[in-house]
A = this chain, B = another copy of it.
C-alpha cells in the first residue's frame, strides 16, 4: 500500500466518524504518523481526498451494476441482482460508503455537480429495471420514483449498522433485503 492509499484509508475512517468539516489535517496526519505539512507531498488539498473517496466509490457502484444491468433475465431477478451487488459494495466499503452518502455535499464545483449527475444516472438505472418489471407484468403498478427512493434509503442505511464480523454475510443480507423489498412489489 502506497502512502497515498494509506492516507485515503485513514481519512475515510475519520471523515466517516467525525465528518469531513470537523476532521483537521493535523489529526489526519497524526493518525497516519507524519507531520501535517508532509501530507501535501502526497495530496494537493483536503478536498482532493474527499473527491477521491466519493468518485472512487461511485466508480465501484457503476462497475458492479454493469455486471447485471444488461442480463437477459426477468425484471425481478435483475432487480434482485442489482440489490445484491449494491449491498455488496456498501458492506465491503463501509467507511467509504459513509463518506459517499453524507459528506459529498462538501465537494466544490464543478465536482459537486458531477457527483449529483452520476448519482442521478445510477438511480435511473434502478428505475428502469422497476419500470421494465411493471411492463412485464411482474411488478404491481407503483410510483416508481417513490419506490426507488425507499429502496435506496433502505440499502444505503446499511452502512450505519452493518457489522462486518456479525452473523450476517453480505450475501445473506442481500437475500433478505431482496425478499423484504420485493414481496411488496411482486404481483
A21 within 8 A of B: yes
Q: How far is the CB of A14 from chain B (nearest CB, A)?
A: 13
One of A31-39, A45-53, A142-150 at the interface: A142-150
A122 interface residue per 8 A CB criterion: no
CA distance A161 to B119 in the complex (A): 14
A selection of 28 A-B contacts at a CB cut-off of 8 Å is A19-B19, A19-B105, A19-B106, A21-B21, A21-B22, A22-B106, A102-B102, A142-B180, A143-B176, A146-B176, A146-B180, A147-B180, A149-B154, A149-B157, A149-B161, A150-B154, A150-B157, A150-B181, A152-B157, A153-B153, A153-B156, A153-B157, A153-B160, A154-B154, A180-B184, A182-B184, A184-B184, A184-B185
